[in-house]
Amino acid sequence: MMAPVPDNAGGPSAAMEDRWAPMRAYIVAGALALVFGVIGVRAGQVSLAGVAEASGGDRAEAPRRADIVDRNGDLMATSLTAYSLFADPRAIWDAGDVAAGLATVFPDLDALDLEARLSNRERAFVWIRRGLTPRQRQAVFALGLEGLGFEEESRRVFPGGALAGHVLGHVNVDGRGAGGLELAYEDRLAAGGDPLELTLDLRVQHALEAELQFAADAYAPIGAAGVVVEAATGEIRAVASWPPVDPNRPGASGAEARLNRATGAVYELGSVFKPLTVAAGLDAGALTPSELFDVSTPLQIGAAMIRDDHPIDGAATLTDIIAHSSNIGTVKVAERLGERRLKSFYETLGLLSRPDVDLPGAARPLAPAEWDRLANATASFGHGLAVSPLSLAMSYTALANQGEAVAPRFVAPGPYEEVERRRVMAAPTAAFVMHMMRAVVTEGTGTRAEAYGYEIAGKTGTAEKPGPNGYDKDRNICSFAAVFPASRPEYVVLITLDEPRPLPGEGRTAGFNAAPVAGRLIARIAPLLDVEPVLAAPRSQPSGVRAVSDKRAL
Amino acid sequence: MKRFLLFALALLVVLAVSVYRAKLGAQSSHEEIAKIEAEIARLEQELAVLRAEEAHLERPDRIGPLAKDHLGLERMSPDQYVDIDALENDPRLAPKEAPQ
């Protein structure tokens, strides 16, 4: 049984409590409201201000290095994400198992050596391999081995291998350009974005390198170089140096192979200078196209005696002098012209200064210290003056362009960029010299350069290399400088072989080695370069040839 | 007055809830974008690898012999060019008369 509880059990003290009750309620309610208010405001803040700080994305990341493509958009250099594989030996139980597993992915891996390294529990970090492709990484993942990790890095890849290796250059371990166009355009490439478009044509480049390899197999030179340049624009379609280098493995080739013989080395190139000397003489008005020269007797200049290997009997025309490469005749032209005029003509052609080109390591010519009468005479046929094959090829653009020279360029011009041309000789002079060079191939020293349908005009050059005891007859630099097609010149080609050996029963001069290589090359690249063959004889004579005697001289 | 207050309160709640939902939606879109961006980056890498492989497989020193051995292709010779005027007079290209 329960006793009834009175409604008001308190008494006076209970009444006191009642007086404070509303106050307490207000305090509690106020505190609660404050807490909820804070929570509400904070919740609102969080839900509205959002999670921006968590989403990331503003981490500064270096852009992917821009690709390099040829003029047709074919890829020459690209950057791929590569992975470096490392291991933590302390996290590996069975080093032998891991090593054996990795050896299945990398057949050239030394499993025993790796096992020994992975067994060393004192180390926390062991590099296993760098530069893995995504596929290799996937394959390692698939093994499911313990204690392995990957680090992501960027790797420069040249899919063509050694193709254009010298001119492209390479990148160092930090991914920065180190040589060639990779260095020249470092800032442009490092900024990422659109591919860098070159003037090179991958197919022509391949043809040039293949023909240099052919020449290397046939004549066993110590080096070789080749240039193909579009005469009207100075755009380099191909430039190569043999032996080749693979930019994917820049450390694998020696200094001999790394030298870019087309742009970074200078040679006394010999008789390929003769058309330029004759052009200088004609342009200065020091001689006339129909003039005859007596080249039958050697010429004494100071202490030196100028001779011809195959003397021309009787009077020789300028065309004979070029076609049969007469030193005596060329020196007579140089004598007529004088030191000042020949030197300044070479200067205008850019043969006495570093070529104006955005390629690192473009060589400066070696000119005689004093341009005296003897230096003038020898320079007129390409001795005592050493220039790079690129420089010489560029000087021939003036002959091909009706007297206007252009600067070499490796990177495609912008849409509104104009080609800068310098007039270095009158158009008739260039036309006349072109005809003389055509005669070199039809009846002179360069007949083996002829390629049916492409009207090759050119000049052979066989220079003896300077040795300890003067010039060495057995060590030659053989070149063939060509322009084609002669009646409407489009391209200049230069082939240079350093110390080619003669084929059995054949001569050692350029007509036997550099000339046929140039001819083979032109027959191969002309269709790639969209040069239409010249099948019918040109109907009109060029403007430079008017007199009847001039026609006979052709 | 009391009804107006209730109505305002209800509106406030509705607005708060909708803002919250919008916020949630934006957040999930954000995540979606991040995911897609990561996917794009991955595909771009893959594309770069495939382009490099394509360029490697298409290099002239590989294609040349293949074209010659398997397709019988030869280098172009000047004889294969024909003058456009010569084509007009070629009897082989003259339009044939329709059979009666």
Longest dimension (CA), chain A: 159
Residue A538 pLDDT: 43
CB atoms A524 and B75 under 8 Å? yes
Residue A235 pLDDT: 96
Note whether A392 and A266 are within 8 A (CB). Answer: no
Note down pLDDT in tens along chain B; length 100 residues.
889 999 999 999 999 899 889 989 999 999 999 999 999 988 988 899 899 999 999 999 999 899 999 998 888 888 888 777 777 777 777 666 655 5
CB atoms B54 and A75 under 8 Å? yes
Q: B84 — contact with chain A (CB < 8 Å)?
A: no
Q: B81 — contact with chain A (CB < 8 Å)?
A: yes
The beta-carbon neighbor of A55 closest among B16, B34, B53 is B34
Of the candidates A442, A409, A461, the one whose C-alpha atom is nearest the C-alpha of residue A277 is: A461
What is the distance between the alpha carbons of residues A456 and A449, in angstroms, rounded to a whole number?
7
Of the candidates A460, A492, A466, the one whose C-alpha atom is nearest the C-alpha of residue A478 is: A460
CB atoms B30 and A55 under 8 Å? yes
> Residue A187 half-sphere exposure, CB side, CA atoms within 13 Å?
0
The beta-carbon neighbor of B59 closest among A44, A78, A159 is A159
Taking each continuous run of H as one helix and of E as one strand, the counts in chain A are: 19, 16
pLDDT in tens, B38-47: 999 889 888 9
What is the distance between the alpha carbons of residues A467 and B36, in angstroms, rounded to a whole number?
67
Instruction: Give whole-number Cα distances, A337 to A38, A45, A289, A327, A482, in Å.
Output: 99, 90, 14, 15, 25
CB atoms within 10 A of CB A175: 17
Q: Which two tokens stand for residue A188?
A: 């442009």
Residue B81 pLDDT: 82
- Helix ranges (DSSP H) in A5-133: 12-49, 52-55, 95-105, 111-118
Cβ neighbours of A193 in B, within 8 Å: none
For the stretch A139-144, contacts whose Cβ atoms lie closer than 8 Å and that sit 24 or more positions apart, written own/partner, are A139/A105, A140/A85, A140/A102, A140/A105, A143/A101, A143/A102, A143/A104, A143/A105
Query: Taking the C-alpha atoms of A239, A243, A244 and A248 in order, what is their torsion angle to the nearest 10 degrees?
Result: -140
Cβ neighbours of A74 in B, within 8 Å: 55, 58
State the best of A157, A211, A214, A520 to mutate against chain B, taking most chain B CBs within 10 Å: A157
- Helix ranges (DSSP H) in A456-511: none
Q: Is the pTM of this model over 0.95?
A: no
Note whether A215 and A224 are within 8 A (CB). Answer: yes
What is the distance between the alpha carbons of residues A229 and A225, in angstroms, rounded to a whole number?
13
What is the distance between the alpha carbons of residues A296 and A480, in angstroms, rounded to a whole number?
25
For A132, nearest residue in chain B (alpha carbons): B49
Distance of residue B95 Cα from the nearest chain A Cα, in angstroms: 28
pLDDT in tens, A298-333: 999 988 889 888 888 888 999 999 999 999 999 999
Q: B86 — contact with chain A (CB < 8 Å)?
A: no
Per DSSP, which regions of A90-202 are E strands?
Answer: 126-132, 148-157, 196-197
Residue A271 appears among annotated catalytic residues: yes
Share of residues in chain B with pLDDT > 90 (%):
53
What is the distance between the alpha carbons of residues A330 and A367, in angstroms, rounded to a whole number?
19
Of the candidates A361, A363, A336, A340, the one whose C-alpha atom is nearest the C-alpha of residue A351 is: A363
**How large is the angle between the packed helices A134-143 and A95-105, nearest 10 degrees?**
140
Q: B82 — contact with chain A (CB < 8 Å)?
A: no
Residue A553 pLDDT: 38
CB atoms A50 and B23 under 8 Å? yes
Note down pLDDT in tens along chain A; length 554 residues.
455 555 554 455 555 567 788 888 899 999 999 999 999 888 778 766 655 544 444 445 678 899 999 999 999 999 988 888 888 888 888 888 888 888 888 888 888 888 888 888 888 888 888 878 777 888 888 888 888 888 888 889 999 999 999 999 999 888 899 989 999 999 999 998 999 999 999 999 999 999 999 999 999 999 999 999 999 999 999 999 999 999 998 888 888 889 999 999 999 999 999 999 999 999 999 999 999 999 999 999 988 889 888 888 888 999 999 999 999 999 999 999 999 999 999 999 999 999 988 898 899 999 999 999 999 999 999 999 999 999 999 999 999 999 999 999 999 998 888 889 999 999 999 999 999 999 999 999 999 999 999 999 999 999 999 888 888 888 999 999 999 999 999 999 999 999 999 999 888 999 999 999 999 999 999 999 999 898 764 444 444 444 444 443 33
Residue A438 pLDDT: 96
Residue A421 pLDDT: 93
ipTM: 0.76
Q: B29 — contact with chain A (CB < 8 Å)?
A: no
State the best of A46, A55, A72 to mutate against chain B, taking most chain B CBs within 10 Å: A55
Residue B99 pLDDT: 59
CA angle A260/A261/A267 to nearest 5° reads 145
For A210, nearest residue in chain B (alpha carbons): B61
CB atoms within 10 A of CB B38: 10
